[in-house]
A and B are shown apart, each in its own frame.
Chain A
């Protein structure tokens, strides 16, 4: 009797493990289907011009997401561009210059602290430190000085990306085969030459993947950007203009949207975010796995 129970118990357990694993995959599929089904009325109503129409007008039920698309892309790429030199330098410092020891370990933990600060706190902090600085700058350039806009959001976003890209790139860099480096040193190369001519070229795909994954994170970042970007649903004139991102328009309008097409259009934006970040993650993980395996 007891034996029978033990066999049954074991069977249930093994079955449950497989079910839980399959559920994770099903979850992802369900996400996609839910977003697709819920936004279907809007997809039909909006047509393809949704992607390039620049007019977002819920009152007249006309929806075009170009301002959000442009806002998201500029903000994310600018943030990536600002953070890139810092991330590469810190990754080199921790992965190549000083891979072991107490001090680099402390450095790594300190940089990881950046990941511990919640997005909304970054936004709040940026609102009271970066935004006044930018507003000051705008005044000097005789622009409208609100301090809120693409540039402000990008600066704060770039800080948020640093811990993420540093840890990815550091892993990639530290996987460089030692004989390769030693060969370069033995030929009389300086450290700069080893880094710029051996380490970076031989890891270029892994480093790009690190930035790609950071980009995926930047695209979906919501709270900090919503607080700082100025929320203006129009095409930006310069990097100082207020703008709007895909994630922040969802955050701001989703609970207020009443008619089906408006809600559906917001879900359609969510679907697009989902698809883009999924593709970015698939490609990025694939390259990273190959680079550090």
Chain B
């Protein structure tokens, strides 16, 4: 008998190897899924990308061709207005949370922000329908923007807070010591220093809402015409994809694939911008 019984050790090593390969295998299948999905969307969508997709509105049933120009304009309109609502509000709450860390009310607000982030988007749609669409009596792009603005708030608030907390107190104290007011210190010192992170939060928010349909179903609704007023119902790109996805017409599905590709490329670009900002503008001291 050998002084060491190596059989147990071998078995444990073998188990370890199996375990490691399972982890590798599962991780790689995650990556594979990403590529399969993106490749499929790209393959299906690239054939539908043409000039008409961007410049024409939808054609009546039965006619071939047409595009989603009205939905692209609609999406931009809804998202930009939502951002106009959400950014000032979100940054304010973020500043509040960063300056009152550890206080009871700040903790409560932080929890509220977390809960807000977890609310299903369809529920936000219902509430905004009750708040705005029902009293006014018509669907509108504005109500869709309000719903999306609420969805945008949590990432903006969190990024603003996390960025501002990283800025050293000495910077703030120097400004206050020179006689600048709290308002001036925040506006001229803290926000410009943390602009990278705050901007990143805004982009994350925009990326989160650009592909949303659920909160828009009962608010922005849909409209085949080109709309230039925020008080009218409006089509958005994801809404058109939803409407066309299970349609029996090949041509509509073709347009939906084109729309999907545009949407995915746009959101991936936004994500790339976020990563770039994180690297270049991160608060470092």
Residues of A at under 8 Å CB distance from B?
A: 6-7, 9-10, 13-14, 16-18, 20-25, 27-28, 30-31, 34-35, 38, 85-86, 89-90, 92-94, 97, 107, 109-114, 116-125, 127-129, 159, 162, 166, 190-193, 195-196, 213, 216-217, 219-223, 227, 247, 250-251, 254-255, 266-267, 270, 273-274, 277-278, 280-282, 285
Contact = CB atoms under 8 A, between A and B. Distances in A.
Contacts of B37: 114, 117, 122, 125, 159
A252 to B, nearest CB: 9
B41 A93 contact: no
Tell me which of B34, B99, B182 has the highest count of chain A C-beta atoms within 10 A of its own C-beta: B34
Tell me which of B89, B92, B106, B264 has the highest count of chain A C-beta atoms within 10 A of its own C-beta: B92
B127 interface: yes
B16 A191 contact: yes
B31 A111 contact: yes
Contacts of B12: 190, 192-193
Interface string B240-255: 0110011000000000
B267 A116 contact: yes
Interface of B: 12-13, 15-16, 19-20, 22-27, 29-31, 33-34, 37-38, 40-41, 44, 89, 92-93, 95-97, 99, 105-106, 108-109, 111-124, 126-127, 129-131, 150, 153, 157, 181-184, 186, 207, 210-214, 217-218, 221, 238, 241-242, 245-246, 256-257, 260, 263-264, 267-268, 270-271, 275
Contacts of B15: 190, 192
Contact of A117 (B186, B264, B275): B264
A125 to B, nearest CB: 6
Contact of A20 (B89, B106, B210, B238): B89
A106 B42 CA distance: 20
A90 B30 contact: yes
A30 B124 CA distance: 11
A148 to B, nearest CB: 9
Contact of A192 (B16, B124, B153): B16
Q: Is the interface of B mostly helix, strand, loop or mixed?
A: helix
Given A27-B116, A190-B15, 18 more contacts: A10-B181, A13-B182, A30-B127, A31-B119, A31-B124, A86-B29, A89-B27, A94-B27, A113-B38, A113-B271, A116-B207, A117-B41, A120-B245, A125-B37, A125-B260, A190-B12, A247-B120, A250-B122
13 contacts: A20-B89, A21-B93, A21-B105, A34-B130, A93-B27, A116-B270, A121-B211, A121-B264, A128-B40, A159-B33, A227-B245, A277-B123, A285-B115
Given A13-B182, A113-B268, A34 B105 contact: no
A190 B10 CA distance: 11
B167 to A, nearest CB: 16
Tell me which of A10, A17, A86 has the highest count of chain B C-beta atoms within 10 A of its own C-beta: A17
Contacts of B245: 120, 123-124, 127, 227
A27 B108 CA distance: 13
A55 to B, nearest CB: 23
Q: Closest 9 interchain pairs by CB? A: A118-B211, A220-B120, A89-B26, A281-B118, A190-B16, A20-B92, A192-B19, A222-B214, A13-B183
Contact of B264 (A116, A220, A274): A116
Contact of B23 (A97, A127, A278, A281): A97
A120 B241 contact: yes
Tell me which of A6, A20, A162, A216 has the highest count of chain B C-beta atoms within 10 A of its own C-beta: A20
Contacts of B23: 89, 92-93, 97
A274 B123 contact: yes
B150 A27 contact: yes
B120 A277 contact: yes
B238 A13 contact: no
A111 B185 CA distance: 39
Contacts of B96: 17-18, 20-21
Contacts of A266: 126
Contacts of A18: 96
Contacts of B181: 6-7, 9-10
Contact of A93 (B24, B38, B217, B241): B24
Given A117-B211, A192-B19, A274-B123, A24 B217 contact: no
Nearest to A286: B111
Given A89-B26, A190-B15, A193-B12, A10 B183 contact: yes
A238 B229 CA distance: 48
A234 B88 CA distance: 46
A217 B114 CA distance: 13
Contacts of A195: 19
